[in-house]
Amino acid sequence: MGVVAVREVVREQVVVDRPATEAWDHLSQLERWPSWAGHIKSMKPTPPGTLTAETKVDLQMRAGPRNTMVVTEYDPPRGWVWEGRSMGVTTRFEHRFEELEAGQTRIWFLAWVSEPLAGPGGWMFGRMMRRALGVALPKLKAEIEAR
């Protein structure tokens, strides 16, 4: 894909009491995301299984169109980027894993959108995603720390 989206709309984070490799292992199980991310109905990766540099995922949000996300950057356990195009808009999601002291990891959730959502629509999309992550990230933290 390689299209650079033009407006950042999400910059959220959660700190988990686990090393980055464990946090990565948990998030790389894409089919399990709906267990903590209630705004996601399903994620079906190709090839099936754990996230790889070649992964494409059929993502179905509970409210919104189906989208295919393609991994465009892959750097375990430091992060990955995936991009998708739906309804004329490119979305770019980045997940970064920042190792902190004492076995803690900060996980960043970042998103950018291209035109035409880079304007007011991007603000609304970002607001919706921040609200969803406000509910999802505490659940994600609990899941990772319960491992």
Output the domain CATH number for residue 39. Answer: 3.30.530.20
Indicate whether 84 belongs to any domain. yes
* Half-sphere exposure for 73 (CA within 13 Å, toward CB): 14
* pLDDT score at 5: 45
Inform me whether the pLDDT recorded for 64 exceeds 90. no
Could you give the angle at the alpha carbon of 79 between the alpha carbons of 103 and 31, nearest 5°? 95
At 79-131, the pLDDT tens digits run: 999 999 876 778 899 999 999 988 999 999 999 888 665 666 677 778 888 99
**Within a domain: 52:** yes
Question: What tens digit of pLDDT does each residue of 20-33 get?
Answer: 999 999 999 999 99
Q: Which domain holds residue 18?
A: 7-146
* 95, 27 contact by CB (below 8 A): yes
pTM recorded for the entire structure: 0.89
Neighbours of 126 (CB within 10 A): 20
How high is the pLDDT of residue 127?
85
Tokens of 19: 């090393």
Is the residue at 1 inside a domain?
no
Report yes or no: 39 and 125 within 8 Å, Cβ to Cβ. Answer: no
Select from 66, 44, 52, 32 the least CA-distant residue to 136. Answer: 32
Cα–Cα distance measured from residue 42 to residue 37, given in angstroms and rounded to the nearest whole number: 10
Q: Where are the alpha helices (DSSP H) in the chain?
A: 20-27, 120-146
Instruction: Give me the number of domains the chain comprises.
Output: 1
Q: pLDDT category, 65, cuts 50, 70, 90? A: confident
2 inside domain? no
